[in-house]
Amino acid sequence: MSEIHNVVIIGSGPAAHTAAIYAARANLEPVLYEGFMAGGIAAGGQLTTTTEVENFPGFPDGISGPELMDKMRAQSTRFGTKIITETIAKVDFSQRPFKLWPEYKLDKDPVLAHSIIISTGATAKTLDIPGKDTYWQRGISACAVCDGALPIFRDTPLVVIGGGDSAAEEATYLTKYGSRVYVVHRRDELRASAIMAKRLVEHPKVEMVWNSVIQEVSGDDKQLRSVTVQNVKDGSSKTLEAGGLFFAIGHKPNTDPFVGQIDLDEDGYIKTVPGTTRTNIEGVFAAGDVQDKTYRQAVTAAGSGCMAALEAERWLSEEE
């Protein structure tokens, strides 16, 4: 019979590695499946697409996203975590031990585990706009709270695309840094709640660009410099001077392998018992952005990873 692991962690971001560090130090000998370009992103999650991280405690001068994740990964392995660069594509949580199958081993014997920590994160939705890949992280971002305070976005016009609560929140947040904030929305009214929409529209530094979509972005060799928008009603175009473009059109939780296996909410996020990382399946825990649609920060993900490991350790000891 295959070895049954005490705990298998699925993911590669701050939640996964914090859970691994705590589980390893508790002598649980965790196995972490970090994925191979899972969700189109390298191991390390969304932080690997971020150039400078200035709001993670302990790094007063800032640190690049990839370097921060390299340090977390090194800390996991230092305490004995076994890291496997494969993507978990299928699971069976119907009975214990739990069964998991890597993407290219669906016809092989499953990986077995007494407990599972899911920390597969969520992927920010973007649009396929000409110039996006060229200026990604050189003026284009999908997280205003993460990146908005960076020097390149200060005292320059900024553009936010979206019309829901997230867009309203991010645009309002950016008014602290940008000289002006344009909000581009393809309709003539926001989907955001009434109070947030009112606050946004009435803000003196915000200019609404109604009935419009982003047509293209352009810049110099260093940074984004302008955003061209097109009116969907009359077809006219105009170019906005801008040093930053922020996507605020939502996130997709990376939960495809868990559909039908665990309780998800209407947006696909894993449901957890409030104040815990417990799911509806005993012995299965969820941490980080895969269950958090509110904060989505590296530090909150790390905190929930700690919670998941402690809860898994406690649960395993009670099951013995």
306 included as an active-site residue:
no
Q: Tell how far CA 130 is from the center of its chain.
A: 23
CA distance 129 to 227: 10
CA distance 32 to 20: 7
Q: What are phi and psi of 88, to 5 degrees?
A: -75, 120
Catalytic residue among 107, 133, 143, 289: 143
Half-sphere CA count of 188, side-chain side, radius 13 A: 3
Catalytic residue among 92, 146, 256, 267: 146
Q: How many CB atoms lie within 10 A of CB 61?
A: 6
Bridge partner residues of 229 (DSSP)? 214, 238
Catalytic residue among 70, 107, 133, 147: 147
243: exposed, middle or buried (Cβ count in 10 Å: 0-12, 13-18, 19+): buried
146 included as an active-site residue:
yes
Helices (H), 181-297: 194-201
Q: Which residues are catalytic?
A: 143, 146-147
